[in-house]
Copies of this chain bind each other. A is one copy, B any other.
């Protein structure tokens, strides 16, 4: 897989084993849809990356325009028009110790892969194995610390599902392992608030701005009385068919269609 790594296009990227992204999960990423050779909503993605970088105090070693150019160049090198682009920012290599070095040399890696085929409607489970810590500031950024989500996703597979809904420590719905949740509830489109531990998804933000989706704290029981529900990520809108084996409303058709129309 080709990549753009710290200013250089390369057919195969290698990372220093002392990179804190590898040793401590010390970094951030963005997953971006590219259509026709262009990254969609790059401004929003980079704004979120900068927000995360400020929280973690990681300098972003390239300007936004340079990152945009790098994505274009990488897509050209890889011969991809439509793609899934990933921008990874890590603290970079450092000696051992938890406190970041005073002179970090961050790693900025960009990769691209062919777009995934559209996923079938999600058969989700509510994860029992772990929960989202809504009191950690990491909920507000897209960090490299994905193990809770991986564990939840593995649980889904073990229980015959293909996506996991994460509750927070108070038992409220946060989001899923890779997407935000949008419900049609009492005639309105709603999504869990950031204060309940939802990741501030780029598509979620667009749907709040353009589809009138409102933030609303959601209990697990609310899932079962929704008229329709879908999962939103930067890559796709996906109908939510069922939760723990129970069909949700219309199986996700109306919510997905309504959201798709708003962002078309």
Contact = CB atoms under 8 A, between A and B. Distances in A.
Nearest to A157: B99
A41 interface: no
Contacts of A86: 23, 96
B17 A150 contact: no
Interface stretch (A128-136, A205-213, A243-251): A128-136
A136 B148 contact: yes
A220 interface: no
Contacts of A95: 113
A174 to B, nearest CB: 12
Interface in A90-128: 90, 95-100, 109, 111, 113, 116
B113 A137 contact: no
A103 to B, nearest CB: 15
A81 interface: no
Contact of A5 (B17, B111, B157): B17
B131 A135 contact: yes
A177 interface: yes
Interface residues of A, number: 59
B84 A96 contact: yes
Contact of A22 (B21, B151, B153, B154): B21
Interface string A143-154: 111111111011
30 contacts: A5-B17, A12-B16, A15-B15, A15-B19, A15-B22, A17-B88, A17-B109, A19-B22, A23-B29, A24-B150, A25-B25, A26-B147, A95-B113, A96-B113, A97-B116, A98-B153, A98-B177, A99-B153, A100-B150, A131-B135, A133-B133, A133-B148, A133-B169, A135-B169, A138-B148, A138-B151, A144-B147, A145-B145, A145-B146, A145-B148
